[in-house]
Structure formats: C-alpha cells, structure tokens
Amino acid sequence: MNKTTEKRIFIFTCTAPAVLLLSIFMIFPTIEVFRMSLYKWGGFSNNKVFVGFDNFKILWNDMNFIRSLQNSIVLIVIVTIITMMVAILFAALLTREKMKGNSFFRIIFYIPNILSIVVIAGIFSAVYDPTSGLLNNFLALFNLEKLQEMWLGNQKIAIYSIGGALVWQAIGYYMVMYMSSMASIPESFYEASALEGAGRIRQFFSITLPLIWNNIRTTLTFFIISTINLSFLLVQAMTGGGPDGSTEVFLSYMYKQAYTNSSYGYGMTIGVVIFLFSFALSAIISFVTKREVLEY
C-alpha cells in the first residue's frame, strides 16, 4: 500500500463519522421537509395526499403567514442594527479607553448570553408587567405615566418588546467577540494616526472598523440566523404568538400549523420557505458586505 492510498484511507476514516452524522441529522431531514411540503397530511395518520405545489399557493394567500413574515423581518432588521451598533460601540470603549473595571463590565455584559432563553423570557415578562413591572414603575418615577403601556398586550408594540429582550440577550456575546478582534490591532496604528492628527472618532472609522470588518461580516450572518431561531423561543415563552397573532414569527407559525393544527404538510411548506429565505438572506448579506481584506 503506497502513501497516497494510506493518506486517502486516513482522511476517509477521519471524515466518515462527521459525514454520517451530518447526513442523518441535517441532509436527510432537510430533504424530508422538502418532500413533505408536497403532501397534505395531518402528521398522525397514514392518509398522505400528494398535492404538489398547492400548499405553496395557499401559503402566499395566507395573511397570518404574511404577518409572521413581516414580524420576522422587523425583528431581523431592528434587532440586528441595534445589537451590532451597541456591541461595537461598547467593545471600542472597553478596548480603547482606559476605564476602571473593564473586566467587571465584560462579565456583566456577557451574563445574559449564558442564561437560558426561558429565564430571559421570565425576566422580561416581569419587567414588562403592566402593574408591578420595572419598566412602568421606572416611567412613573419620572412622572412619565403617559408612556406606560401593556408592553406585551398591545398589538402595536408587543413585537418590539420581544425585540428588546433579543437585543439584551445578544449584546454581550458580540461585544466580547469584537473586543477580541480589536485587541489584536497593533497599537502602533493608533499612535501613528494620532501623530497625524486623527481623533478617536476618525481612528474608529479609519482603523478599527475596517480591520475588524471580516469579523463583523461573519457575526452578522450568524446573528441573523440566530435571531430567527431565538425569536421563536421567546415568542413561545412570553406571548405564545399573541395578542391576536401580533407577535407570531416564522417558526412559531410553522410550529402551530405542523403540531397544533394537525397540518403537518402545510407546516413543512412554511419550513421550506424559511430555509430558502434564510439561505437567500445570508447570501445577500455576504455579497453586500464583501470588501477587500485588509492585512496588518
């Protein structure tokens, strides 16, 4: 047996378990979702009726699905923008500015990320409580009773209240990731720019931001996908999609159709749309944020 054959056998032996697990838990289930989207099936009987693309035709006329799509897009846009901006700002402050208690602030900001999503839902349900909640009592403290709301009971603002919990949960994690990237930037870059008369803000946009851009691109795609997943968990734990479906998102609506309304085939149709939407959005983000890699 020559060295080339031995190398191939070694590579196959190392990769085969991973490929097998990927096939069993990712590839085959994904194919099954696509297949089941073509059937009308309740999920618990043997009566499967092939309907082709009829489920997709029904889906695009389903106003409840359209509303869940709108809510998901609102969360993706608002939560992503706020989280990324605040995380980058805090990372820059804690990395570049000589502040006392930097390590303390890092720990405090990171704590929400290690909490269970159910715990976070419980915390924010208490914060948003209209009678004894922290938020309304804080507004009353400053005589701002006019701004008090039923944060999870008002159809117009409930989805934004869910977004607030998502932002709070994610900021610390991404802040730490950006801090690690910023810490690797040579201090000489900032010293040279300071000699040229560049201030803190100019340094941030001309040095810090361009040099951590690849990290931002990676985390941006990851965060968008995680927002889709986490929004489902928060909605289920905090509002159940209410009031009157105003906080329904992609995955919560799919779950209700597939496992509550006994429309498994229709639920898988929604799953296919979510898969394609996520894949397309990731590709668009990757293309839009692509730029020349800066080396140092």
- Domain positions in the chain are 67-113+153-288
pLDDT confidence of residue 1: 59
First to last CA, the chain: 45
> Collapsing DSSP states into helix, strand and coil, what is residue 114?
helix
Q: Are 72 and 283 in contact (CB under 8 A)?
A: no
Altogether, the residues listed in the chain come to a count of 296
User: pLDDT (tens digit, 0 to 9) for every residue of the chain, 296 residues total?
Assistant: 567 787 888 888 888 888 899 999 888 988 988 999 988 887 777 788 888 889 999 998 899 999 999 999 999 999 999 999 999 998 888 887 767 777 777 788 888 888 888 899 999 999 999 888 889 998 888 888 888 889 898 888 999 999 999 999 999 889 988 988 888 888 888 888 888 888 888 888 888 888 888 888 888 888 888 888 889 999 999 998 888 888 999 899 999 888 877 788 899 999 999 999 988 988 888 888 887 666 65
Superfamily designation of domain 67-113+153-288: MetI-like (1.10.3720.10)
Q: In whole angstroms, what is the distance from residue 100 CA to residue 161 CA?
A: 32
Model confidence pTM above 0.75? yes
Pick from 203, 160, 202, 163: nearest CA to 83:
163
Burial class (CB in 10 A: 0-12, 13-18, 19+), 275: middle
pLDDT confidence of residue 296: 56
